[in-house]
Amino acid sequence: MSHHAGRHFLQIPGPTNVPERVLRAIDRATIDHRGPEFGLLGREVLEGMQAVFKTRSAVVIFPASGTGAWEAALVNTLDAGDRVLMAETGQFATLWKNMATRLGLQPEFIPGDWRHGADPAAIEARLQRDDKHTIRAVCVVHNETSTGATSRIAEVRAAIDRARHPALLMVDTISSLGSIDYRHDEWRVDVAIGGSQKGLMMPPGLSFNALSDRALAAAKQSSMPRSYWSWEEMLVANKTGYFPYTPATNLLYGLREALQMLLAEERLENVFLRHQRHGEATRRAVRAWGLELQCVEPAEYSNSLTAVQMPAGHSEVAFRKVVLERYDLSLGSGLGKLADKVFRIGHLGDFNDLTLLGTLAGVEMGLALAGVPHQAGGVTAAMNFLATGTNEATRTIRTAA
Amino acid sequence: MSHHAGRHFLQIPGPTNVPERVLRAIDRATIDHRGPEFGLLGREVLEGMQAVFKTRSAVVIFPASGTGAWEAALVNTLDAGDRVLMAETGQFATLWKNMATRLGLQPEFIPGDWRHGADPAAIEARLQRDDKHTIRAVCVVHNETSTGATSRIAEVRAAIDRARHPALLMVDTISSLGSIDYRHDEWRVDVAIGGSQKGLMMPPGLSFNALSDRALAAAKQSSMPRSYWSWEEMLVANKTGYFPYTPATNLLYGLREALQMLLAEERLENVFLRHQRHGEATRRAVRAWGLELQCVEPAEYSNSLTAVQMPAGHSEVAFRKVVLERYDLSLGSGLGKLADKVFRIGHLGDFNDLTLLGTLAGVEMGLALAGVPHQAGGVTAAMNFLATGTNEATRTIRTAA
């Protein structure tokens, strides 16, 4: 690979660009995780995460990837052989379903075309038919990172309520938390799953569960074998800001700094508006190029990433290779059955207008260089939109909500 | 707490002091974990970890604490209800046993007095009686962090061989790896468990399994539910330096730097000699103070930490509080049934003669300040020993091995 001057553009849909001040916070001497200073840190990040999830219930922090917090959600609440209803929104929903199978559960997959979010009506219909209430949980990926479709969790909640079904609601917020509005308590979600390396602007290595009283009650009944993922000891130790086993101390330093930025400085509502603007600007660029969005439902457009279909006969792998080599820009690949068919632009985390325009310029020049049929003008379309300020973006949010 | 000038002394038995250059390595922009640059990093750290474990078999790296790698060892190789033989060396052996129970296994605990390592003769006798071979694994903590006793793994291996028993041998090397000699292949260990935050001089957040062919064969037969901890997909992805789910990229940067220091610069054999010298110097200080070592078997003295008994009627909690407040020195607490009865001095990781002497001075002055009966002269005894150079230390190793 030739020498690349300047800064790398990491525009995969996570891990995202870590702010320098978060990296600098991590870059401190490790402290005694049983000493008095640690308890303050622990309490501060646990409280901050409650604010990010918009919950007054407990949040649990694991030294693990998001995949681990998926497993924690399942093994803390269910019993072997339990039926869980999952919505096939894309690759991550599929991986979560595969995990459920491996763990001895019986997932039932509501089929999807990987171009929409979860269908609340289909969930409602299935729950209505389950008059014996054998379905123990409904699992939905809030923002499907493989397709760029954001499921309407408030509507899923309403669907479960209309069916008067007692299933727990579990929501994967890994690529939405801290970039797309998520309301744990208002939507009465029972277990949310989060990860550090997306909207939270952190390196990977921490993951989260936000709980509800019903989730805690289910945990008391659940007989699945668990130890590392068990909430029980975690919650006892967390009361004073400590952990039952060694936490990832340095990453917690970074999390404290990132929470300061998200909650106290930019503030969450502004973070969401910023992501909304960048999502809309990106979609305008894609339309100007004459390319097709993978997500076909405007109310479900993701504001943290955009998945773009490659024209037939063209390889996203070859295209991304050209873009990486020539412009030092990392884009997301097509995953699962979208492999070599879509590429993904991440526009989440610590990000601004000019970095987005640089990213879109890299895509536009890369399309030309790779000989992918398209029209120029995507960058111009995005600039024209961004120049109008945030009003239109704000209105769009209201429409989409 | 009053202002503390100068550097904090983190002398718990891990997390240990992270070298500045390791922190600086972690403090870099996160990269695409599916991009070409990552594969090189992945292969480099996986190969380096093989050298640390002294194995030609595969090593697996989890984004998790050491506790997670304990769980991985069990769930990858065993079946629900399986009998495992564990040696009660102290608190960490007890926690591992409790985990086995929670995961649905049947641990059988060979009782211990928390002052010795695992007893090879007791293991042999128990295996001899198990003529139906219902015991599936023997689990031993190499270096018991709660007591400062190092089990003789080569002798445990020989005991299993003499019993002609097919049980897998699993060894927790969390607080020995990279500080006390561990020989995975030579001792024919089947699963070793390691963590990043001790001899590897890293922050917590990574853990390891080193495998054997027999462990891999057991994994093919094992029916325990697993997903996050599963070796299978891990090993496939690792072949090219990648991971099946998001790895803790920034911690891997640090690991690469730490491996460079351990393997290429100081070199492992010298690392072990350094720890041997510091262990011996510390024990001489303890004897000079007239205090008692928790470990009573010289062949099992730990070279990574020293657990010291408090004189009857004196509280280690109160003593450590004085030491932390007055001298900004963190010592390890008494754990489990040793709570308030022993304190622990960590002398492992990135450490040298003068830092050890500062640490011992803090202990000696703290004993006086807290009114703990002792004789002065511990620091002097350690200085006298360290001044003689490494020859005696080397000879001591030969005696102890």
Fold of B9-16+267-400: Aspartate Aminotransferase, domain 1 (3.90.1150)
The answer to whether A36 contacts B1, with C-beta atoms less than 8 Å apart, is: yes
Kind plus residue range of the DSSP H or E element containing A118: none
Phi-psi region of A340 (alpha: psi -120 to 50; beta: other; left: phi over 0): left
Kind plus residue range of the DSSP H or E element containing B5: none
Q: Where does B13-161 show beta strands of DSSP type E?
A: 59-63, 83-87, 106-110, 135-141, 143-144, 149-150
CA distances from B234 to A103, B30, B45, B76, B210 (A): 17, 21, 14, 12, 13
CA distance A206 to A224: 23
Q: Which residues of A touch B67 (CB under 8 A)?
A: 227-228, 245-246
Nearest CA in chain A to B19: A29
The answer to whether A227 contacts B65, with C-beta atoms less than 8 Å apart, is: no
The SS3 call for residue A314 is: coil
Q: In angstroms, how far is CA B161 from the centroid of its own chain?
A: 25
Q: Is the pLDDT of residue A393 over 60?
A: no
Residue B306 · residue B342 · CB < 8 Å: no
Tell me whether domains A9-16+267-400 and A20-264 share a fold: no
CA distance B61 to B73: 12
CA distance B365 to A257: 37
Residue B311 · residue B354 · CB < 8 Å: no
Closest listed residue to residue B76, CA positions, set B88, B90, B62? B62
Q: Tens-of-pLDDT digits for all 401 residues of chain B? A: 568 899 999 999 999 999 999 999 999 999 999 999 999 999 999 999 999 999 999 999 999 999 999 999 999 999 999 999 999 999 999 999 999 999 999 999 999 999 999 999 999 999 999 999 999 999 999 999 999 999 999 999 999 999 999 999 999 999 999 999 999 999 999 999 999 999 999 999 999 999 999 999 999 999 999 999 999 999 999 999 999 999 999 999 999 999 999 999 999 999 999 999 999 999 999 999 999 999 999 999 999 999 999 999 999 999 999 999 999 999 999 999 999 999 999 999 999 999 999 999 999 999 999 999 999 999 999 999 999 875 445 555 444 43
Closest listed residue to residue B149, CA positions, set B174, B98, B114? B114
Average pLDDT over residues A64-92: 98
The answer to whether A23 contacts B18, with C-beta atoms less than 8 Å apart, is: no
Query: Residue A32 is nearest to which of B12, B18, B226, comparing CB atoms?
Result: B12
Give a three-class secondary structure readout of B228-255.
CCCHHHHHHHHCCCCCCCCCCHHHHHHH
Angle made by CA atoms B295, B297, B303, in degrees to the nearest 5: 65
CA distance A2 to A151: 41
For B29-70, give the DSSP string.
----TTSHHHHHHHHHHHHHHHHHHT-SS-EEEEES-HHHHH
CA distance A12 to A135: 35
* Residue B383 CB-density burial (10 A; 0-12 exposed, 13-18 middle, 19+ buried): middle
pLDDT band at A201 (very low <50, low <70, confident <90, very high): very high
The SS3 call for residue A318 is: helix
pLDDT band at A388 (very low <50, low <70, confident <90, very high): confident
- Identify the pLDDT of residue A390: 59
The answer to whether B34 contacts A248, with C-beta atoms less than 8 Å apart, is: no
CA distance B235 to B332: 36
Fold of A20-264: Aspartate Aminotransferase; domain 2 (3.40.640)
User: How is residue A266 annotated by DSSP?
Assistant: I
The answer to whether B250 contacts A27, with C-beta atoms less than 8 Å apart, is: no
Identify the CATH number of the domain defined by range B20-263: 3.40.640.10
- Identify the pLDDT of residue A389: 73
Nearest CA in chain A to B250: A203
Crossing angle of helices A153-162 and A120-129, rounded to 10°: 20
Residue A142 · residue A176 · CB < 8 Å: yes
CA distance B136 to A289: 62
User: How is residue B18 annotated by DSSP?
Assistant: P
Domain boundaries, chain B: 9-16+267-400, 20-263
Å between B168 CA and nearest CA of chain A: 21
